[in-house]
Structure 1
Amino acid sequence: MKGVMGFLARAGFVTPVDDGTDRSLAGGADEVPAVDPVSSPVLAEPVAPVEEQITLSLAEVYAAAGIPASPYPAEKLLRVLDGLGAMDQGTQKVAIAAMDAADDGWTIEDPIRDAEHKVEALAAHANRLRAGVEQAHAETMEQIGVLKQNGETMVADIRKQIVDLEGLMSREIARSVQEQADLTSDLTAKREGANRLIEQLLVTSTSFKLLISQFRQAPARPDGQGAPQTNAVS
């Protein structure tokens, strides 16, 4: 990062600033946000428990998706753009094009391709979280249904017994209600945790999409001789 900002400073674009800010993901939401359906593949593999999926870091999500290492990761370009925040987008693109032209180790297509891979991985992970919540909901509802049935059966048997068994019936009703409440509370916690993470994934995905939109068309070279020649990437 220091080398990049030093290059920009020498080129007269900006004084290098690296505040070390990590583009961490923002807070949650009560509702599950929508993800671009074009980037949301249908999930064919078995759904892992939602409580396991919530614990995954972005690095683990990307690794699970098989995203290859990039010569210039999208996050690095986002940090550079943060340092160029005082510039308008046109000047930013000229500055990035100058960096691209000066360094044979990467091309602008590297971070863009990296961002595209990560957008797809984030969308797939959001889908898995949704599927995990739905699976947890179905399992919990099934358990609650069994508890309700068991409770109703027990209550019916107790009602047939003599008056001195009324206390037993009351205790069974209370137990069934409490277990249902515990299961419902657990489901609510899972849903809220998944919603928060999905919102975070959407924020990060939106940043990558803005990056793709901004740099999809190769900017003009600073010397005015057209688009810079980029290295071929296999």
Structure 2
Amino acid sequence: MKGILKFLAAAKLVELSDEEKLRLHGVAPGDELLINQAASEFTDETAATNPPPLPNTSDAGTSLAPPINSPIAYAAADVAGGKSFEDIFKSAQIPDSPFPAERLLRLLDGLRAMDEATRKAAVHAMDAADDNWTIDDSIIDAQRKIAALEDYQKALESQLTANQQQVIAEVADLKAAEERAVTEIRKQIAEMERLLAREIQKTAEQITNLEGGQKAAQENCEREVKRLQTEVERLREIPAQFSH
């Protein structure tokens, strides 16, 4: 297994994780000096682009079986979007795999220069040479993660549908409230218009009464003045005739 991996890494057909690099050199984790020596044999570019390996734990009781189908309870915050794959898998409680699907994908990406049959044979050879993992581990891990991602997708779509229905309901409530408000305001406007018309009519009647009273008073005054003048003229005849 070490010889195959070292050959593929040297040919730049596969990118090794830090753990795999250490295995090739027989370095135990935690030995900083040996780790640095092993890492120096790989280019900076390879080391920079290679993500840390996912946790490796034995899953001895695992058999090739359908993906986990138990329902996943997603919190409202989880469905807000932008959640990382790791968080999604953690929420789904997917157990660690001896050889995670992502690691196998990285291995396959490194073997893209080979034809499919050769690439498949190389992976099987690595599987046969290492008792710590099997291809079935990656298959089961991939199936579980596919199920988790599909469940998460359904949760997103369900949340979107719920949000749409809520928005529709709220819009309907707003329109109903608007209609009630408009009806009430128009009713108040109509009442105000009736009050305005009544006040206008009342004022007009008062003005008419005042003006009518003034006119009657003027007419009465004119008649009285005329009557008085007539009497004055009649009385003046006496002084005019008898004052000498």
Q: Could you say which TM-score interval applies, normalised by the shorter chain?
A: 0.5 to 0.7
Amino-acid identity (%): 39
1:158 aligns with 2:185: yes
Cα gap change, 1:4/1:80 in structure 2, threshold over 3 Å: closer, same or farther?
A: farther
Kindly state the Cα deviation for residue 3 of structure 1 after the two structures are TM-superposed: 8.9
Structure 2 equivalent of residue 138 of structure 1: 165
Which string of whole-angstrom CA distances, capped at 9 and with x for unpartnered residues, describes residues 81-101 of structure 1? 111001111000111011111
Q: Which residue, out of 38, 54, 58, partners 2:85?
A: 58
1:94 aligns with 2:116: no
Structure 1 equivalent of residue 6 of structure 2: 6
CA contact (8 A) 1:74 1:111 kept: yes
CA contact (8 A) 1:40 1:123 kept: no
Structure 2 unaligned segments of length 5 or more: list them.
16-45, 52-65, 193-244
Q: Which residue, out of 83, 89, 104, partners 1:77?
A: 104
CA contact (8 A) 2:13 2:110 kept: yes
Kindly state the Cα deviation for residue 53 of structure 1 after the two structures are TM-superposed: 3.7
- Output the TM-score relative to the length of structure 1: 0.53
CA distance in 1, matches of 2:78, 2:179: 31
Structure 2 equivalent of residue 15 of structure 1: 12
CA distance in 2, matches of 1:53, 1:40: 24
- SS of equivalent residue, structure 2 residue 176: helix
Kindly state the Cα deviation for residue 161 of structure 1 after the two structures are TM-superposed: 2.6
CA contact (8 A) 1:71 1:110 kept: yes
Kindly state the Cα deviation for residue 5 of structure 1 after the two structures are TM-superposed: 4.0
Structure 2 equivalent of residue 108 of structure 1: 135
Structure 1 unaligned segments of length 5 or more: list them.
23-37, 166-234
CA contact (8 A) 1:48 1:132 kept: no
- SS of equivalent residue, structure 1 residue 86: coil
Cα gap change, 1:109/1:70 in structure 2, threshold over 3 Å: closer, same or farther?
A: same
CA distance in 2, matches of 1:133, 1:142: 14
Kindly state the Cα deviation for residue 70 of structure 1 after the two structures are TM-superposed: 0.6
Kindly state the Cα deviation for residue 56 of structure 1 after the two structures are TM-superposed: 1.9
Q: Which residue, out of 169, 174, 178, partners 1:147?
A: 174
Q: Which residue, out of 155, 161, 177, partners 1:128?
A: 155
CA distance in 2, matches of 1:91, 1:97: 10
CA contact (8 A) 1:5 1:16 kept: no
CA contact (8 A) 1:8 1:16 kept: yes
Cα gap change, 1:15/1:57 in structure 2, threshold over 3 Å: closer, same or farther?
A: closer
Larger Rg over CA atoms: 2
CA distance in 2, matches of 1:59, 1:43: 18
CA contact (8 A) 1:41 1:124 kept: no
CA contact (8 A) 1:40 1:120 kept: yes
Q: Which residue type is aligned with residue 8 of structure 1?
A: L
**How many aligned residue pairs are there?**
146
Alignment root-mean-square deviation, CA: 3.5
Q: Which residue type is aligned with residue 112 of structure 1?
A: I
CA contact (8 A) 1:16 1:83 kept: yes
Cα gap change, 1:123/1:92 in structure 2, threshold over 3 Å: closer, same or farther?
A: same
